[in-house]
Amino acid sequence: MGVVANQTTDPNRGRCTLCGRRPKRGTTEHHLIPRTCHKNKWFKKQFSREQMQQTISVCHDCHQAIHRFVPKEKTLGRDYHTVDQIMAHDQMATFVAWVSKQK
Protein backbone atom coordinates (compact mmCIF):
# COMPACT_ATOMS: atom_id res chain seq x y z
CA MET A 1 0.00 0.00 0.00
CA GLY A 2 1.39 3.45 -0.97
CA VAL A 3 2.21 6.19 1.47
CA VAL A 4 -0.16 9.14 1.42
CA ALA A 5 1.65 12.46 1.60
CA ASN A 6 0.58 14.57 4.54
CA GLN A 7 0.09 18.16 3.44
CA THR A 8 1.47 19.50 6.71
CA THR A 9 4.82 17.80 6.06
CA ASP A 10 5.05 18.93 2.43
CA PRO A 11 8.17 21.16 2.32
CA ASN A 12 6.76 23.15 -0.61
CA ARG A 13 3.44 23.93 1.09
CA GLY A 14 2.98 27.68 1.25
CA ARG A 15 5.75 28.32 -1.29
CA CYS A 16 5.21 30.15 -4.55
CA THR A 17 5.58 27.78 -7.50
CA LEU A 18 7.35 30.46 -9.54
CA CYS A 19 9.69 32.37 -7.22
CA GLY A 20 9.96 29.84 -4.39
CA ARG A 21 9.26 32.38 -1.66
CA ARG A 22 7.03 31.60 1.31
CA PRO A 23 5.09 34.86 1.75
CA LYS A 24 3.56 35.90 5.07
CA ARG A 25 0.20 36.44 3.35
CA GLY A 26 0.31 32.93 1.91
CA THR A 27 -0.27 31.98 -1.70
CA THR A 28 -3.23 32.10 -4.06
CA GLU A 29 -4.27 29.61 -6.70
CA HIS A 30 -3.73 30.63 -10.33
CA HIS A 31 -5.75 28.69 -12.91
CA LEU A 32 -3.36 27.83 -15.73
CA ILE A 33 -6.34 28.03 -18.06
CA PRO A 34 -8.44 30.99 -16.85
CA ARG A 35 -11.93 30.13 -15.65
CA THR A 36 -13.40 32.62 -18.11
CA CYS A 37 -12.19 30.32 -20.92
CA HIS A 38 -13.71 27.09 -19.57
CA LYS A 39 -16.96 27.39 -21.54
CA ASN A 40 -15.21 28.35 -24.78
CA LYS A 41 -15.51 25.62 -27.46
CA TRP A 42 -11.86 25.90 -28.53
CA PHE A 43 -10.64 25.27 -24.99
CA LYS A 44 -13.10 22.40 -24.49
CA LYS A 45 -11.71 20.69 -27.61
CA GLN A 46 -8.07 21.27 -26.71
CA PHE A 47 -8.03 20.45 -23.00
CA SER A 48 -9.57 17.88 -20.68
CA ARG A 49 -11.65 18.94 -17.69
CA GLU A 50 -8.72 18.02 -15.42
CA GLN A 51 -6.34 20.21 -17.41
CA MET A 52 -8.73 23.15 -17.23
CA GLN A 53 -9.05 22.79 -13.46
CA GLN A 54 -5.28 22.70 -12.87
CA THR A 55 -3.91 25.44 -10.65
CA ILE A 56 -0.56 26.48 -9.24
CA SER A 57 0.12 28.18 -5.91
CA VAL A 58 1.67 31.59 -6.42
CA CYS A 59 2.47 34.55 -4.20
CA HIS A 60 0.53 37.78 -4.64
CA ASP A 61 3.44 39.46 -6.46
CA CYS A 62 3.84 36.68 -9.04
CA HIS A 63 0.08 36.40 -9.54
CA GLN A 64 -0.16 40.14 -10.23
CA ALA A 65 2.81 39.94 -12.60
CA ILE A 66 1.26 37.09 -14.63
CA HIS A 67 -1.87 39.13 -15.26
CA ARG A 68 0.09 42.36 -15.83
CA PHE A 69 2.42 40.87 -18.45
CA VAL A 70 -0.26 38.74 -20.17
CA PRO A 71 -3.50 40.69 -19.64
CA LYS A 72 -5.69 38.77 -22.10
CA GLU A 73 -7.29 35.69 -20.58
CA LYS A 74 -7.44 33.77 -23.88
CA THR A 75 -3.74 34.41 -24.50
CA LEU A 76 -2.95 33.13 -21.01
CA GLY A 77 -4.94 29.96 -21.65
CA ARG A 78 -3.64 29.30 -25.14
CA ASP A 79 0.02 30.25 -24.82
CA TYR A 80 0.85 30.15 -21.09
CA HIS A 81 -0.95 27.12 -19.65
CA THR A 82 2.15 25.51 -18.09
CA VAL A 83 4.74 26.76 -15.60
CA ASP A 84 7.46 26.35 -18.24
CA GLN A 85 5.53 28.52 -20.71
CA ILE A 86 4.97 31.21 -18.07
CA MET A 87 8.67 31.20 -17.21
CA ALA A 88 9.59 31.39 -20.91
CA HIS A 89 7.90 34.81 -21.11
CA ASP A 90 10.81 37.30 -21.07
CA GLN A 91 9.23 39.82 -18.71
CA MET A 92 7.98 37.13 -16.36
CA ALA A 93 11.37 35.40 -16.19
CA THR A 94 13.06 38.71 -15.41
CA PHE A 95 10.44 39.54 -12.75
CA VAL A 96 10.70 36.11 -11.07
CA ALA A 97 14.51 36.34 -10.99
CA TRP A 98 14.20 39.74 -9.25
CA VAL A 99 11.34 38.93 -6.87
CA SER A 100 12.91 35.66 -5.73
CA LYS A 101 15.67 37.74 -4.11
CA GLN A 102 13.19 39.93 -2.22
CA LYS A 103 11.92 39.21 1.28
- The domain spans of the chain are 27-99
CA distance 75 to 72: 5
- What residues have CB less than 8 Å from 43, skipping those under 6 apart? 33, 37, 52, 77
Torsion of CA 73, 74, 76, 81, to 10 degrees: 130
CA distance 55 to 11: 18
What does pTM read for this prediction? 0.83
CA distance 39 to 35: 8
pLDDT at 7 > cutoff 50: no
What confidence category does residue 4 fall into, taking pLDDT thresholds of 50, 70 and 90? very low
CA distance 42 to 47: 9
The 10s digit of each residue's pLDDT in 35-81 is 999 999 999 999 999 999 999 999 999 999 999 999 999 999 999 99
